[in-house]
């Protein structure tokens, strides 16, 4: 849609940035913290780039005051961070760890001291390994009770100071990479039946958590963050338009319909029934999902790229357990579901060194789709560019990151003009961090952290990049000056 003049971003818009506990904190065994599934997984040879771990990460655990001070100097309005389950319940359940609770008390208080709104993610992939050892973690329905107990502890401890809560980060990613591609814990491949069962358990954990939060703090704002990749049909052929519809039902609406409506898409369910992989649903589950959906306040969106859907015949390509983790452009492989769709490269868009498409308009499409389909407000909980940043004379010049963020913010502003209710924009990430499988070479932050792949190299000193000062101006002008 075209508007002669922009309304700009609403007053009180939350300009923010984000991180995840395992990727920034370090202190992996400090002060009573238990072992997480990622603490164990990264020690399996060949799983991460150059065997990098989050043992030290960027040492946010010991340097959070320094990091928050930099946030304040930038003028950040909100900081989205996750809590490590293993700091609160080292064994996943049982005895609570007061030292872990205090760390997040101190972090939240430090943010509030500078007027920065804490936005807390309950779960960003780091499950206690003790629960995996005890009953296979997410594969067992018991995980729902343990998760809700953990979340309830957080709400009771921090709910008087935290207004914004995100129950799950990228549920679609940690489950598909964990049970289909074997690239995340527990490292299983092509276990389609368990993939959907695990996903249902996560949905129930999300739903019960929403209900508990709203009972304790009715004014709190809650949602889940979904890794949303809008999809284009490859061309004008009807079979490719249908491939897009199949992709959307199985890869996008399968999650968002549950968050917003409390139900699974009917066509997707019919397909899964034909394959014999529908999840087992207990009596009362659907009612709980629907009740929670009525109390969800926003849809969280982690937006990085769009994709293309093309019809994939029954003998076509499937999913692989490979991805570009080296930053060598052009090494990603086409993947798909035989008989439904495949996702070829989009020749009309540039890509990052990690073969992620760069499509600023996609963030506007996310917002438009969510607004028209769900009528929910939107929190952009992640958006950013991973790149090879270099220090030159003590400075980091990253015009490519500024250009990327500028283009996405311009499209987000158009989404606001379109009538979308966008509450927040959180870049990924604030400081450089461990990029899961990609190690530390793939840098996302406004703040450079001096560390290399070697666990013991680098000073961990913080250096603001050019993008830091650019974003500071964006915040000061509420997005008017880009």
Q: Give catalytic residues, as residue numbers.
A: 170, 382
Closest to 397 in 3D by CA, of 406, 408, 407, 388: 388
Closest to 12 in 3D by CA, of 133, 104, 115, 85: 115
- Report how far residue 465's alpha carbon sits from residue 392's, in angstroms, rounded to the nearest whole number: 11
C-alpha dihedral over 431, 436, 439, 443, to 10 degrees? -30
The structure tokens listed for 265 are 């898409």
Answer whether the bond into residue 425 is a cis peptide, omega within 30°.
no
Closest to 215 in 3D by CA, of 142, 261, 260, 155: 155
Closest to 86 in 3D by CA, of 59, 112, 46, 124: 124
- Report how far residue 4's alpha carbon sits from residue 147's, in angstroms, rounded to the nearest whole number: 49
Residue 283 in contact with residue 289, Cβ under 8 Å?
no
Give me the residue label for tokens 């309304």.
7
Residue 303 in contact with residue 407, Cβ under 8 Å?
no
Give me the residue label for tokens 């600023």.
360
């Amino acid at each position: 849609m075209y508007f002669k003049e922009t309304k700009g971003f609403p007053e009180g818009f939350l300009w923010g940035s984000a991180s995840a506990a395992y990727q920034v904190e370090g202190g992996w065994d400090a002060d009573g913290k238990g072992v997480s599934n990622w603490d164990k997984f990264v020690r399996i040879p060949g799983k991460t780039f150059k065997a990098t771990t989050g043992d030290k990460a960027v040492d946010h655990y010991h340097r959070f005051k320094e990091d928050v001070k930099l946030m304040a100097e930038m003028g950040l309005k909100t900081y989205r961070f996750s809590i490590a389950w293993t700091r609160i319940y080292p064994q996943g359940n049982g005895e609570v760890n007061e030292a872990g609770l205090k760390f997040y008390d101190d972090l939240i208080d430090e943010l509030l001291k500078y007027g920065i709104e804490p936005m807390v993610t309950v779960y960003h992939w780091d499950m206690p390994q003790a629960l995996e050892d005890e009953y296979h973690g997410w594969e067992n329905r018991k995980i729902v009770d343990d998760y809700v107990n953990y979340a309830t502890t957080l709400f009771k401890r921090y709910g008087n100071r935290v207004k914004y809560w995100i129950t799950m980060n990228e549920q679609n990613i940690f489950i598909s990479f964990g049970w289909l591609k074997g690239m995340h814990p527990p490292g299983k491949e092509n276990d389609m039946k368990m993939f959907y069962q695990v996903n249902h358990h996560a949905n129930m954990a999300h739903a019960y958590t929403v209900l508990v939060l709203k009972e304790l703090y009715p004014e709190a704002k809650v949602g889940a963050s979904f890794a949303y990749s809008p999809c284009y049909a490859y061309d004008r052929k009807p079979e490719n338009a249908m491939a897009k519809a199949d992709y959307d039902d199985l890869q996008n609406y399968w999650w968002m319909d549950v968050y917003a409506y409390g139900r699974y898409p009917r066509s997707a369910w019919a397909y899964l029934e034909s394959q014999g992989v529908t999840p087992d649903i207990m009596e009362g589950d659907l009612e709980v999902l629907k009740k929670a959906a009525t109390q969800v306040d926003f849809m969280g969106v982690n937006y990085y790229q769009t994709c293309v859907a093309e019809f994939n015949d029954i003998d076509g390509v499937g999913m692989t357990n490979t991805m570009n983790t080296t930053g060598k452009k052009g090494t990603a492989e086409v993947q798909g579901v035989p008989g439904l769709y495949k996702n070829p490269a989009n020749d009309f868009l540039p890509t990052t060194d990690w073969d992620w498409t760069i499509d600023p308009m996609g963030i506007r499409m996310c917002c438009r789709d969510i607004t028209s389909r769900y009528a929910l407000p939107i929190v952009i909980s992640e958006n950013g560019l991973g790149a090879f940043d270099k220090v030159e004379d003590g400075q980091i010049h990253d015009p490519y990151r500024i250009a990327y963020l500028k283009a996405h913010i311009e499209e987000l502003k158009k989404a606001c003009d379109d009538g979308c209710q966008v509450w927040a924009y959180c870049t990924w990430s604030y400081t450089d961090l461990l990029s899961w499988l990609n190690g530390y070479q793939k840098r996302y932050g406004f703040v450079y952290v001096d560390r290399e792949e070697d666990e013991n190299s680098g000073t961990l000193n913080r250096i603001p990049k050019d993008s830091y000062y650019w974003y500071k101006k964006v915040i000061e002008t509420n997005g008017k000056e880009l």
